[in-house]
Structure 1
Amino acid sequence: MEDQYQALYTTFRWWVPQRFNIADACCRRWTATSADARRIALYAENMHGEREVWTFARLHEYANRLSNGLRRMGVQRGDRVAIALPQRPEAAVAHIAVYQLGAITVPLSTRLPGDVVEQRLRDSESRIVLVDGMAADTVLPAADRCPLLRQAIGIDLDDERVLSWRTLIARQESVFDMHPTSANDPAILLYKTGTTGPARGVVLSHGSLIGNLPGVVASQDWFPEPTDVLWTGSEWGGGHGLFDGLLPALYFGQPLVASRHASTPEQVFELLERYQVTNASLQPAALRGLLDAVPDAATRYKLSLRAMAVGGSHLDAALAARCERELGVTPNETYGQAEVRAIIGHSRHKWPTRPGSMGRPYPGHQVAIATPQGHPAPPGTVGEIVVNRYDIQGHADPALFLGYWRGEEAGRPVSGTWHHTGDLARVDEDGYFWYAGRIEDVFPADGGHTVVPDEVEAVLRGCPGVEDVAIVPGRASKVKAYVVRRRAGRDATELDAAQGDDDRFARELRDYARQHLPAWQVPADVEVMPALPMTVNGTVRRMALRFREEESARKRLPAQAPPAPAP
């Protein structure tokens, strides 16, 4: 294969119109002709498996009706509207409707606990929230405690606290004059799920959609081809599902599969087969779960997958090899953050992939590795991933966020030249990035060494019987491993009897570690758990594990003797 990377990277030019609105790019323009208006925007399935098809004409009409309804409810330019909906057509309608009002969406996962929902509704000062039965039990009580929230709009809900979606839509006109916005106007308030602290609101512009597209096109093997159908395993209430699924599919006018009932691996593969999905976007944990549950999927199902993008957390080489072997697709890893999406990754047909690496910077993004002193790190040296506000041509990179909500940067470009990601990596001589974890997760060990949890975890996942693992600091500067054991067969309730008890399994894991890791990286303590604490985006909540370890350490301390009586 010819390596086309340098030509693609050096000749790339951004073109961002001054006037730009996501709703126009993702919906309205596809209704300019009758042929485009009949294009399929969504294949949708509900919880009962009932199916429907949404064209761009239908999506546009419903979005106009909702925009009119929201305007009559007092929503104005810059107001925040929370969307707590699963993968369903009404969620796409809500996004388009809010964007064309000039208002700001606040995507919320349906799996967030009530206290987190309340915190985000309060912090964003959302005026309206849209919800259905999947999240009503957590969203509605939280909404009751938010005095600035004017109204909850309920879809398929019989609750006196909500305004019926059907009633609202039926009363509105199907024509709406879109509010003019610039590419730099705020469009999305996306909360960055923290693994070590509270979530922080990230303000993204309308133009951030354009900034995300080179990574989508490349990671989906030059998406779109005429017959492409896209599906994402992530909720649209998070950055991964929104920017790697919903918005790019609508932007390119390609069908997107939306399902609320594909909850088991078998149902997912049935969905992929039924709609002949060609392009999938997944997180590593979801991909591993599919392969573990249905190892013979390529023979059981007639799949049409031609490309797969995997992001949200690091894709290790072993999982990538399994995907290629069992599904016949080489996954393209993508790296990005809430602040800046899809800036590094692979594109297997345009440049060679290196299993285990993050890939190369996508065209349009200037990315480097910095030392703690802020200097460029030499090849092979671990440092922080930093992203420049400008590309190599000196043009502004539209992918970068406007700033943090309520922060000093909110509503303005990132201050300074470089955005510091907080992620560690090294770059090899050929420009491939190799992930080394989060700065906040690295900790010192015996002998002056530094433990990078991701490096240790990648090795331990190769141990037979390990489904997942997380590394945190343990007692006396030692390494502690929290491990989830692989389940037997397809029965998620029964452990493989051949693995024996947890104590023996822990010994086997340490033996494996001694054979594959230096002594200072070998876990001194192994604790088996039924599941690791995860964020809604599928990353491990290390702070929860550190807190658990600290609590255990306190319990191990001997009780202090009472003070001696005074003489």
Structure 2
Amino acid sequence: MKQLDKRKNSNEIDHYAKLYHDFRWQVPDHFNIAEACCHRWAGQQGLIAILSEDSEGNQRSLSYTELYQQASQLSNLLRQEGVQRGDVVACILPQRPETAITIMACLQIGAIVMPLSFLFGPDALEFRLKHSQAIGIVLDSSGIKAFEEIRMQCPDLKTVISIDCPGNQDLPPNIDWHTHLPAMPKRCDIVRTRASDPAILIYTSGTTGAPKGALIPHSAIIGNLTGFVASQNWFPQENDVFWSPADWAWTGGLMDALLPTLYFGKPIVGYQGRFSADTAYYLLEKYQVTNTFLFPTALKMMMKADAAPREKYKLALRAIMSAGEAVGDAVFNWCEQALEVTPNEMFGQTEMNYIVGNSHQLWPARPGSMGRPYPGHRVAVIDDEGKETATGVTGEVAMHRYDLYGHPDPVFFLGYWKNDEATRNKFTGDWCRTGDLALRDADGYLWYQGRADDMFKAAGYRIGPSEIENCLVKHAAVANVAVVPKPDKERGNIVKAYVVLSKGYDASDALISELQNHVRGKLAPYEYPKEIEFIDALPMTTTGKIQRRILRLREEERARQTN
């Protein structure tokens, strides 16, 4: 590795073909995430699992031994309350030790854990609790308000375990975590689960229809590991510490940060508070974070906040994985020059995660590219009929049920909860469609072209937002941007950009012209935004993805009102 590190920026380093073709999956028949991420480390006294801090500076740490003991106590409490193997238990908690404890407690007794974001409103929460038929829930004060509004509409919910929550006389009695857990035994026999048994239920918000519950097996963490190890520059290494602002209730935070870090017995930093560039630098320095997963939006904020962070902060950062949006060469180059770390872009989704990406120390990372299929995953770009497209032709990213050697890929989800039709529609033969568009170059790199529903035509040209957004964010005035189609009678659509301004810049007609000329001089003439609207903040998902659909619908509604 040291020899490779010295040549990490050289295009001569390309070990991809050998790594990919030599890899074979080794998935045991019986496997449980809690055993792999908790039990096997519990005997090592003093080994830290979680370093926790909140926005007020309160700090805690949790060792792997304590994680095992408290997870066992919670398992015994859940069993006492009637939770059985295969039951769904919800978890509405931020990045705090109790989140990991709850996940391990559920998995080791064979229950299915359903992590839910504390940002969910009552409607989103009610749908998921009712649709999943969850019989238990663990939550703290961050999610109690929304839960109180819908508690009586969830008849299947029998057990409510609360952490630091005030009592409410209108609700059935809650079980207080701090009162009841200490009375439970600190040992719990782990259920012998098969690798293919269900473990985690995560609801994904599609572009149409109600959210779908993706049921994830225990084996999925094994399927994630090739991508995690590679994108984190061969994690773990001595003294590695992980941190990501990604919510542990979502795939990005759970499967790309929390669980793989625990799998390798390393510490992860959990922070309860809003993300900001200053907070990111503070955490990176204080905890000497070596590895991170940062959304492109977060990297853009950090780039705009401090052009030369290593002159101000003592950083130990050695690896950055980024996903959710294309990083683009502006942010890519800043990471290399200012953070002195080449970012490894990654692509995946809840149903099959961590399937494409980069690992710049072992194969070249090309700015803006999604990367190549990680070892063990057979990924292609296909057309509407399920046939692989030619080099340079845009199609839909899809992954095969079986790897290069005909073995089942362990990363796959089991199906959508109580939605067999949606599960069938996800596949074309053995290809599982992602809904994301890309093209493949001659060297096997995939280049993201946007979501299928983000692509649009303007004046006959097929346009994807990512290239235009990447161009605009290179301008100092642009903190963030989203490009969508605006309906136009003559052209069908025109290109419109919603721009969040950087500090120190004010909206003006002159700035609009400047930004338009900035794009016009770098991209095709039909790609420059004919209209720019300044906005305080872009609509974002809790996982940091820009919700262009909301902006697109806004433009469609405006067009209807003017016609």
Please tell me the TM-score bracket, short chain as reference: over 0.9
Residue 189 (structure 2) aligns with: 177
Alpha-carbon separation, structure 2, partners of 1:22 and 1:409:
29
Residue 560 (structure 2) aligns with: 554
Q: What is the aligned counterpart of 2:54 among 46, 61, 69?
A: 46
Residue 501 (structure 2) aligns with: 486
**Residue type at the aligned position of 1:295:** A
- 1:16-165 equivalent positions in 2, closer than 5 A: 16-31=27-42, 34=43, 36-160=44-168, 161=171, 162-165=174-177
Residue 491 (structure 1) aligns with: none
**Residue type at the aligned position of 1:451:** I
**Residue type at the aligned position of 1:370:** I
CA apart distance, 1:457: 2.1
Taking a change above 3 Å as real, the CA distance of residues 281 and 229 of structure 1, as seen in their structure-2 partners, is: same
**Residue type at the aligned position of 2:27:** V
- 1:374-389 equivalent positions in 2, closer than 5 A: 374-389=386-401
Residue 290 (structure 2) aligns with: 278
Between 457-466 and 177-186, the greater mean CA deviation after superposition: 457-466
Alpha-carbon separation, structure 1, partners of 2:162 and 2:466:
42
CA apart distance, 1:196: 5.4
Contact 1:67 1:98 in 2 (8 A): yes
CA apart distance, 1:484: 2.4
Residue 228 (structure 2) aligns with: 216
**Residue type at the aligned position of 1:8:** L
Residue 434 (structure 2) aligns with: 421
3-state SS, counterpart of residue 398 of structure 1: coil
3-state SS, counterpart of residue 124 of structure 2: helix
**Residue type at the aligned position of 1:232:** S
Between 509-518 and 213-222, the greater mean CA deviation after superposition: 509-518
Residue 4 (structure 2) aligns with: none
Q: Alpha-carbon deviations, 1:17-67, whole Å to 9, x = none? A: 100000000001112xx4x24311111123431222211110000000000
Q: Alpha-carbon deviations, 1:445-486, whole Å to 9, x = none? A: 21x321222232222222341222222221322224232232
Residue 459 (structure 1) aligns with: 471
Alpha-carbon separation, structure 2, partners of 1:409 and 1:300:
54
Residue 15 (structure 2) aligns with: 4
- 1:305-344 equivalent positions in 2, closer than 5 A: 305-344=317-356
3-state SS, counterpart of residue 434 of structure 1: strand
Calculate percent identity across the aligned residue pairs.
42
Alpha-carbon separation, structure 2, partners of 1:266 and 1:444:
39
Taking a change above 3 Å as real, the CA distance of residues 410 and 130 of structure 1, as seen in their structure-2 partners, is: farther
3-state SS, counterpart of residue 31 of structure 2: coil
Residue 453 (structure 2) aligns with: 440
3-state SS, counterpart of residue 15 of structure 1: coil
3-state SS, counterpart of residue 49 of structure 1: coil
Q: Alpha-carbon deviations, 1:229-261, whole Å to 9, x = none? A: 111111101100001111011100011111214
Taking a change above 3 Å as real, the CA distance of residues 453 and 46 of structure 1, as seen in their structure-2 partners, is: closer
Alpha-carbon separation, structure 2, partners of 1:377 and 1:411:
24
CA apart distance, 1:290: 2.1
Taking a change above 3 Å as real, the CA distance of residues 415 and 55 of structure 1, as seen in their structure-2 partners, is: farther
The ranges of structure 1 where at least 4 consecutive aligned residues each deviate by more than 4 angstroms after the TM superposition are: 409-415
**Residue type at the aligned position of 1:518:** A
Residue 205 (structure 2) aligns with: 193
3-state SS, counterpart of residue 354 of structure 1: coil
Residue 13 (structure 1) aligns with: 24
Alpha-carbon separation, structure 1, partners of 2:458 and 2:265:
52
Residue 3 (structure 2) aligns with: none
Alpha-carbon separation, structure 1, partners of 2:526 and 2:422:
43
Residue 398 (structure 1) aligns with: 410
Taking a change above 3 Å as real, the CA distance of residues 130 and 410 of structure 1, as seen in their structure-2 partners, is: farther
In the superposition, the TM-score normalised over structure 1's length comes to 0.92
Taking a change above 3 Å as real, the CA distance of residues 415 and 451 of structure 1, as seen in their structure-2 partners, is: closer
Contact 1:402 1:409 in 2 (8 A): no
In the superposition, the TM-score normalised over structure 2's length comes to 0.93
Alpha-carbon separation, structure 2, partners of 1:515 and 1:111:
41
Q: What is the aligned counterpart of 2:549 among 519, 522, 543?
A: 543
Alpha-carbon separation, structure 2, partners of 1:414 and 1:62:
41
User: What 5-or-longer segments of structure 2 have no aligned partner?
Assistant: 1-6, 8-12
Residue 216 (structure 2) aligns with: 204
CA RMSD of aligned residues (A): 1.9
Q: Alpha-carbon deviations, 1:317-368, whole Å to 9, x = none? A: 2111111222111111110001111111110111111111111110000011
Q: What is the aligned counterpart of 1:240 among 249, 252, 255?
A: 252
3-state SS, counterpart of residue 228 of structure 2: helix
3-state SS, counterpart of residue 530 of structure 1: coil
3-state SS, counterpart of residue 302 of structure 1: coil
- 1:260-299 equivalent positions in 2, closer than 5 A: 260-261=272-273, 263-299=275-311
Alpha-carbon separation, structure 1, partners of 2:209 and 2:471:
27
Contact 1:45 1:51 in 2 (8 A): yes
User: What 5-or-longer segments of structure 1 have no aligned partner?
Assistant: 489-494, 558-567
Taking a change above 3 Å as real, the CA distance of residues 415 and 182 of structure 1, as seen in their structure-2 partners, is: farther
Q: Alpha-carbon deviations, 1:535-564, whole Å to 9, x = none? A: 11111222211221122112222xxxxxxx
CA apart distance, 1:209: 0.4
CA apart distance, 1:6: 0.8
Contact 2:499 2:532 in 1 (8 A): no
Does residue 167 (structure 1) correspond to residue 163 (structure 2)? The answer is: no
Alpha-carbon separation, structure 2, partners of 1:474 and 1:196:
20
Alpha-carbon separation, structure 1, partners of 2:402 and 2:364:
26
Contact 2:91 2:115 in 1 (8 A): yes
Contact 1:154 1:164 in 2 (8 A): yes
Taking a change above 3 Å as real, the CA distance of residues 112 and 257 of structure 1, as seen in their structure-2 partners, is: same
3-state SS, counterpart of residue 363 of structure 1: coil
Alpha-carbon separation, structure 1, partners of 2:74 and 2:19:
41
CA apart distance, 1:197: 5.1
